[in-house]
Amino acid sequence: MMQFDYDILFIGAGPAGYVGAIRASQLGLKTAVVERDKLGGVCLNIGCIPSKALIEQANRYAALEELGKYGITYNEAGFDYGKVQASSRSAADKLSKGVDFLLKKNKVDVFSASARLVDKNTVSITEAEGKGEKRLSAFAIVIATGSRPREIPGFAFDEERVLSSTGILMMKALPKKLIILGAGAIGMEFAYIMNRFGVEVQVVEMLDRILPMEDSDVSGAVKAVFEKRGVRFYTGMKAAGLGKTDNGTLQLSIAPAQGESNQVASQATVLEGDKILVSTGRSPNTEGLNAASLGIHMDRGYITVHDYYETDAQGIFAVGDVVAGEPQLAHVASAQAELVAERVAYLLGKGKNPHRSRIERRFVPQAVYCEPEVASFGAKEEELKKKGAAFKSATFPFRAIGKAVATGHPEGFVKVLTDPATGEILGASIVGPGATDLIHELLLASQNELTVEEIADMIHAHPTLSEGIKEGALSALDRAIHL
């Protein structure tokens, strides 16, 4: 066998790259990562982590209103959103340093540089300052370069008035009015944050409902709560143009997403705001990698992969947001990278072959961290109906859960879809407090082929929010106690 500098080399040190590198090192592989920016990638530095810090502060700020019920008054005069934003940066910085520690602890070599593929076993790296170029060789190379916010024509990011998710995370002062394009997870999380801090929020979504990847019952429930708080939604509408008034206020023209052009023009509506957040998806970071020249098939910038996430170039793998047709989620990226590390270890005679060649999409949890929280996995009711599949839908409301009522968070429900013949859990959705944590009980059961009856028979502590899982399972068996 040829001699290489490393057994495995990851290009990118986000949730895919650093997790895969640690797993590879655990398996005895000589491992390196090349990262041109901060360790931890988008998720940790300008995505999942700082946004959750802002959500927590928004929760605390909103809770101040509750104090009035008990005769407590407070003064908002000293409120400084800049300090809120700074706390989110502090959380991100701490965790990025934690990733650095973990990589050192696991003896992973880290190169602060950009990388370009030379051949299937070699990368050329250039230091961030552009001070020099060197080549590194590896038995296996893993592309884990992640993604960035997608720009749409006419809405180029200036990060002052037209914001990406990065720009709004870096924003140190609140606007009076914010327009959001896109009502997916990112758009809805920032709609929640800004609304709770007193910003007037308007959300535009091309599809006919918000959170279009979720169950329609979920979308309806979340929309109702947000509208009660004053958020305005324009669904089935698209952005038609962006302009400014004489005083600098942004004007967004929106029109029906469907219909003839003359009809669309006649139904145009103009929204005004101080800033606009564009959250209409993400684009893969694959430019400059030289991947196509090595025979790697690209699809609109995304990389096509086969079993074990290997590309058309043998020995080069791709994981995370760059992979065509896969969910762009940090936990998916991490799981894919671990699988690749285990596959490479097996090929080098240092471990067992992974028991699966790809991540099973039906067992991938989705989560939205607004309030109420949203989480789901597996089939949705709409898709089962389209397939003509036999299923049973059961829903149990949070207003019938003791702890949800006692803590003042009765909005939402647990929805479970099952096979009426076998009791198999086909999918589940939760809207409500703790949903993003609660979903994993149902997911674990589904992945291990437990039936809904086995969940129903398990004792759940009282009072807990997890009783909603038990009652949801009981509902699927027509045995709900508290409804």
pLDDT tens-digit readout, 39-49:
999 999 999 99
Q: Which of 331, 409, 462, 482 is catalytic?
A: 462
Query: Sign of the C-alpha dihedral, residues 108, 111, 115, 117?
Result: negative
Q: 325, 322, 353: which is closest to 340 by C-alpha?
A: 353
pLDDT tens-digit readout, 403-458:
999 999 999 999 999 999 999 999 999 999 999 999 999 999 999 999 999 999 99
Q: 264, 267, 234, 240: which is closest to 254 by C-alpha?
A: 240
**Kindly report the CA angle at 437 between 375 and 164, in degrees rounded to 5?**
55
Query: How close are the terminal C-alpha atoms of the chain, in Å?
Result: 66
3-state DSSP call for residue 38? coil
Residue 69 DSSP code: G
The pairing of strands 237-244 and 250-256 is antiparallel
Burial 358-393 (b: 16+ CB within 10 A, else e): ebeeeebbbbbbbbbbbbbbbbbbeebeeeeeebbb
- Residue 247 is predicted with a pLDDT of 87
> Residue 287 has which token pair?
């430019």
For residue 354, cis peptide bond before it (omega within 30 degrees of 0): no
pLDDT tens-digit readout, 118-139:
999 999 999 866 677 899 999 9
> Residue 202 has which token pair?
């308007």
pLDDT tens-digit readout, 360-414:
999 999 999 999 999 999 999 999 999 999 999 999 999 999 999 999 999 999 9
pLDDT tens-digit readout, 324-353:
999 999 999 999 999 999 999 999 999 999
Burial 322-334 (b: 16+ CB within 10 A, else e): bbeebebbbbbbb
3-state DSSP call for residue 198? coil
Query: Sign of the C-alpha dihedral, residues 375, 381, 386, 392?
Result: positive
**Separation between Cα atoms, residue 358 and residue 141, nearest integer Å:** 18
At 77, is the pLDDT very low, low, confident or very high (cuts 50, 70, 90)?
Answer: confident
**Separation between Cα atoms, residue 202 and residue 165, nearest integer Å:** 16
Percentage of the chain lying above the pLDDT 70 cut: 97
Is residue 462 annotated as a catalytic residue, yes or no? yes
Whether residue 43 contacts residue 96, with contact meaning beta carbons closer than 8 Å, is answered with no
Strand ranges inside 315-373, DSSP E? 316-318, 366-368
At 76, is the pLDDT very low, low, confident or very high (cuts 50, 70, 90)?
Answer: confident
pTM: 0.94
Strand ranges inside 227-315, DSSP E? 232-235, 237-244, 250-256, 269-273, 275-278, 282-284, 298-299, 302-303
pLDDT tens-digit readout, 278-310:
999 999 999 999 999 999 999 999 999 999 999
- Residue 65 is predicted with a pLDDT of 84
pLDDT at 268 over 80: no
pLDDT at 267 over 80: no
**Kindly report the CA angle at 70 between 69 and 73, in degrees rounded to 5?**
90
At 260, is the pLDDT very low, low, confident or very high (cuts 50, 70, 90)?
Answer: low
> Residue 135 has which token pair?
């080549």
pLDDT tens-digit readout, 81-129:
999 999 999 999 999 999 999 999 999 999 999 999 999 999 999 986 6
> Residue 219 has which token pair?
């979308």
Whether residue 425 contacts residue 418, with contact meaning beta carbons closer than 8 Å, is answered with yes
* CA 249 to the chain's CA centroid: 31
Higher confidence at residue 31 or residue 248?
A: 31
